[in-house]
Every structure is written in structure tokens, then in C-alpha cells.
Homo-oligomer: A and B are copies of this chain.
Amino acid sequence: MPVTTDKELEPGQDLISILLEAAPIPLVQGDIVIITHKAVAKTEGRLVKLSQVQPSPLALDYGKRYNKDARLIELVLQESASIVRMSRGCLIVKTKQGFTCANAGIDLSNIGQGSAPDHEPTACLLPKDPDLSAQRLYTSLQTRLGFAVPIVISDSFGRPWREGIVNVAIGCCGFDPFTDYRGQADSAGRILKVTRMASADALASGAELACGKLKRAPFVIIRGFNWQPSTLTAQALLRPEEKNFFP
């Protein structure tokens, strides 16, 4: 169930208060809350006016070559730990947080104050440490409610080989981001060996269907998913480099 709000999210605002005021139904035990990364990033002040970015020679050259804003390219480079692909105008990087994605997860839409014609274009960066953000929100929500509600911070990522983007979990707290079938028997008694579903990603992805991009719904309440408590975070969803086949 999406939770919409008319509030323009600004740095320093308390997202949990906004959630609890806007929620159309009271949260109950068993619920999970999905929060868009943009709501988190905005309230954490992860906004950069493009006019304040000084592009490097590399960013200037690449921007010129592919008709892109060099200041945005510079920001992407600054948020990156390494560059995975930089060709044909595309920038796929590994971010400092460990995510492999296009443009370091930076985007210019739904920022609010930076987008109207009389304002400067503003970029929204990923939260510095989305798991820490999730933990902070989780603790705050638990304090207010008196019981624990897991938190997932979602963002939309592209995929190799497949068109369109889907949401994934970039931060989470309070539950096991996997549903682990390994060691369990299937309907015919055969033990499953490798099946581990990335349920946090599926929750993030499913939540997008409920909230959409244009509805001003920074939160989605998920009810009825049988989660297990865990101290694992969204970092567990990142494949260690030595297990990766790509790039």
C-alpha cells in the first residue's frame, strides 16, 4: 500500500514522522516499509547544484563527445570507486557504496526545488551509507511504534541483457534480505542446493508497482510477507568481486 504525501521533502526533515502522519492505515507487527532512496537522500541533504560542480578535463571531454552535461559526469566520477564501462556515452560504475549501476545512481528527476524553470538543476546522489540510513530509520520507527518494522531503501537499476529498470534494495535493516531454500526439500523430496531468493530486491521491485514514479509516494507499506529477523544488510546482496563473472 503506497503512502503519499504533499510535503516537499527537504534536508533535515524527519522521514518517520512524515510516514506516520501520512500512512492511511496504522502500521502493525509483521509489516515492512519500503522507502525510496530519493526520499532518504533528500532528507539527508545529498543534493548538489550542478552550477557548483567543477568538471575535470575527462568529464568535459566525455560530455562534449556525447552531448551530455559535463558537471553530471564529474559528479558520477566523484561518486565512483571504479569505472566498469565508459563508452558510447554510457557510464556504468561501481559506486563507493559497492553498487554496480549506471551513473552512480545519480539522477535529476523528482528533486523538487532544482527542477522548476527558475531554479538551478540539482542532482540527487545516493545516500552515503544506505544501510546506516535504514538502521537509523528502523530504530526511529521502532521507538515510535514500540515494535520492530523492517526497512528497505529502494532504487531503480538497469540490468545487462534486459530492457527497462527494476527496483532493488540498496539499504535494509531488521530482516533477512534473502529467502533461503538451500537445504530444504522440494515437493518431491529433492534437496534444493542453490536456491536463495533476493527477497529484499523482490519487495523493492514489487513496491514500485504500487507507488509508481509520479505519485509522490515515498513509502510503501508491505503487509503479509513472512520475513525473518536478521542482522544482514543490503551489503549482503552485493556479490563479492571474486565471485563475479562480469565485467
**Contact call A225/B209, Cβ cutoff below 8 A:** yes
**Contact call A165/B197, Cβ cutoff below 8 A:** yes
Q: A55 in the interface, Cβ–Cβ < 8 Å?
A: no
Q: A208 in the interface, Cβ–Cβ < 8 Å?
A: yes
> Which residues of chain A from 196 to 247 have a CB within 8 Å of any chain B CB?
196-199, 201-203, 205-206, 208-209, 212-214, 216, 225, 236-239, 244-247
Most buried by B among A112, A156, A199, A246: A246
Query: Knowing A166-B201, A166-B205 touch, does A213 contact B192 (C-beta < 8 A)?
Result: yes
**Contact call B214/A187, Cβ cutoff below 8 A:** yes
**Contact call B111/A181, Cβ cutoff below 8 A:** no
Closest B residue to A100 by CB, please name it.
Answer: B161
Most buried by B among A87, A88, A185, A198: A198
Q: A56 in the interface, Cβ–Cβ < 8 Å?
A: no
**Contact call A208/B197, Cβ cutoff below 8 A:** yes
**Contact call A212/B110, Cβ cutoff below 8 A:** no
- Inter-chain CA distance A163–B108, complex, in Å, is 28
Query: Size band of the A side of the interface?
Result: 35 or more
- Inter-chain CA distance A162–B115, complex, in Å, is 33
- Inter-chain CA distance A144–B212, complex, in Å, is 32
**Contact call B212/A202, Cβ cutoff below 8 A:** no
CB contact between A164 and one of B109, B164, B237 (< 8 Å): that residue: B237
Mark contacts of A151-166 with chain B using CB atoms, 8 A cut-off: 1 yes-contact digit, 0 otherwise: 0000010011111111
Q: A36 in the interface, Cβ–Cβ < 8 Å?
A: no
**Contact call B238/A165, Cβ cutoff below 8 A:** no
- Inter-chain CA distance A111–B199, complex, in Å, is 23
Sort A-B residue pairs by CB-CB distance and give the 9 closest, nearest first.
Answer: A206-B206, A164-B198, A115-B188, A160-B246, A115-B190, A100-B161, A202-B205, A110-B186, A85-B245
What are 25 sample pairs from A and B whose C-beta atoms fall under 8 A apart?
A85-B245, A87-B245, A108-B190, A109-B195, A110-B186, A111-B188, A113-B188, A114-B188, A115-B189, A115-B190, A116-B188, A160-B246, A162-B237, A162-B238, A163-B198, A164-B198, A165-B196, A166-B205, A181-B214, A184-B214, A186-B213, A197-B213, A202-B209, A206-B209, A209-B225
